[in-house]
Amino acid sequence: MQNNESNLPEGELEQNNLQPETDIKTETTGITDEKSGMDPIQLMEQKLNESNDKYLRLYSDFDNFRKRTLKEKAEIIKTASEDVFKSILPVLDDFERALKASESLSDAAPIKEGMSLIFHKLRNNTQQKGLLAFESIGEPFNPDTMEAITHVPATDENAKGKVVDEVEKGYKLGDKVIRFAKVVVAQ
């Protein structure tokens, strides 16, 4: 058997010789990317590293966002009642002044008048903040806003199932019931 290369003329032999193997192949796969000249595995590893870096940055940003919002939420909860307390402080001051003034008075009429003024001031302050008392006497019993503490016999047919007495007023803050009315219901 004769070598095929020896049958070719000398000029063709030089033209058919390929460049050394290391020029076309890399050490890992033997294939190169035409655009970057890099091995596809190296290219994929580079893209993976970039993706991991982006993921870690995004995860870190999200974690920081979560921690910041939790801290802000805790701060809001902590100071949410500040506005309400600021509106009640003048009422407390009025009560203190009324107590000091009542020590030297023998007549109860000015004390009653002062207490009435303080009550109205407090009620107005809480109403401005959205706290509203709701009426229940004479209304049909509603378990969504009322709590029946006892039942009494009805005096007539129209009174059955209706509230005849209110032990504690019910209050709403906006549309949400924050204290159920404690009522007596006729049966």
Superfamily of domain 132-187: Head domain of nucleotide exchange factor GrpE (2.30.22.10)
Domain boundaries, the chain: 132-187
Strand 146-152 and strand 170-173: pairing?
Answer: unpaired
- Yes or no: say if 151 and 144 are a contact pair by the CB < 8 Å rule: no
Sign of CA dihedral 171, 177, 178, 182: positive
Print pLDDT tens along the chain (187 aa).
444 444 555 554 444 444 444 444 444 555 665 666 778 898 999 999 999 999 999 999 999 999 999 999 988 887 777 777 788 888 888 888 888 877 777 888 888 888 888 888 888 888 888 889 999 999 999 999 999 999 999 888 888 999 999 999 999 988 899 999 999 999 9
* Strand 163-168 versus strand 176-179 pairing type: unpaired
> Angle at the Cα of 163 (from 187 to 123), degrees rounded to 5?
165
What is the Cα gyration radius of the chain?
A: 43
**Nearest alpha carbon to residue 97 among 118, 73, 116, 83:** 118
